[in-house]
Amino acid sequence: MGKKRKLSHPHAPGKANSRPKKLAQHKAEQSKAPNSPAKRPKGKQQRQADEQPTIPFEPHHRILLIGEGDLSFAASIIRHNGCANVTATVLEKDADELQAKYPHVNDNIAVIRNEAPETKEPQEKPQETTSKDPEQGETHGDDENGSEGSNGDSDNEAEDDSYDSDDPDQPPRPKRKLTPNSRLLYNIDATKLPTSLTRTQFDRIIFNFPHVGGKSTDVNRQVRHNQSLLVSFFQRAIPALAPGAAIIITLFEGEPYTLWNVRDLARHAGLQVERSFRFQARAYPGYKHARTLGVVRNAKGEISESGWRGEERAARSYVFKKKEDIVPAAGKKRRKGDDSSDDDD
């Protein structure tokens, strides 16, 4: 009679302790899982979460803000970034029209005018100016172009000229108290900037989320309308740039905004992209994305609290300068979160 073959069996005596040992080992590994770094987000998501926001201006800069909507960005950079010489402009013709679209705007106006947020509207508004004829640049106010008198700059011009805010190796500029000299202008069309603005020299001209509004439901037509807006804006804004100054455009990422080809539009106007970076709304406390058409209301006409929040959507800022003002980036450290060339990161 031949020899019997030995069959392996999961319940054989020799294997009795092997499986429980593996289970115990597995449970021990599970108990360590909560403290394991594997639980943290990986890759691009984690890098964006840890990224330090890029602030593309300095407190002493003369800043022109175009199409400010509810003025929350202007109020934030004045209150939290210490900017003292901000000219905020809106398309709305007066305070009543602006408040009808953005009912909470008065608090932001008060910040721009260097008043307490709860201050009632006075009879005279010396810092608010309405352009009756944008083409002629007719304005009414104490300071027609906002460039004369105290402008918040340092008395030491040599110190300001020698400071390079884009140099990562240079220590931060010493903080000093700047004289508030901000103002609000109504009825300013980005495509027809008045001469009272264009003859002023600004260090930064910022147009956050330009959009013509609901001119068409056709995507191609809407793209063309917005391209036309940007082309006219670039042409009118360039004369207002101080030497070495920049125009900053912020757009949402993805279509249809990528179809606008903002880089090409700027290039045809004589500008070049110095760099681009992710726009992070959290860098500006109190800032809320304002729709061109105003706040979202429900069927009863009440302001909707559950509306879409644009500040939570991915966006990118593009820094444009005159071609002759672009400094080669060779040998310069690349700052985290932005690109020093025409290519996105």
The CATH number given to whatever domain includes residue 63 is: 3.40.50.150
Residue 342 lies in a domain: no
Question: pLDDT for 232-265, tens place per residue?
Answer: 999 999 999 999 999 999 999 999 999 999 999 9
pLDDT in tens, 272-323: 999 999 999 999 999 988 865 554 545 555 555 655 555 678 999 999 999 9
Whether residue 177 has pLDDT greater than 80: no
Going by pLDDT thresholds of 50, 70 and 90, the confidence category of residue 345 is low
Give 275's strand partners.
Answer: 319
Q: Is the pLDDT at 69 greater than 70, yes or no?
A: yes
Residue 220 lies in a domain: yes
Please tell me the pTM assigned to this model.
Answer: 0.67
In a domain? residue 83: yes
Whether residue 32 is contained in a domain is answered as no
Average pLDDT of every residue of the chain: 75
- How many domains is the chain built from? 1
- 197 within 8 A of 64, measured Cβ to Cβ: yes
Closest Cα partner for 199 from 250, 145, 161, 254?
Answer: 145
Tokens of 146: 């906002």
Residues in a beta bridge with 297: 303
The answer to whether residue 76 sits within a structural domain is yes
Query: CA–CA distance from 163 to each of 58, 174, 291, 333, 341 (Å)?
Result: 11, 11, 37, 17, 22
Q: Which of 3-17, 35-49, 121-135, 251-265 has the lowest mean pLDDT?
A: 121-135
Q: Is residue 245 part of a domain?
A: yes
Q: Which structural domain range is residue 152 located in?
A: 59-330
- Residue 77 pLDDT class (50, 70, 90 cuts): very high
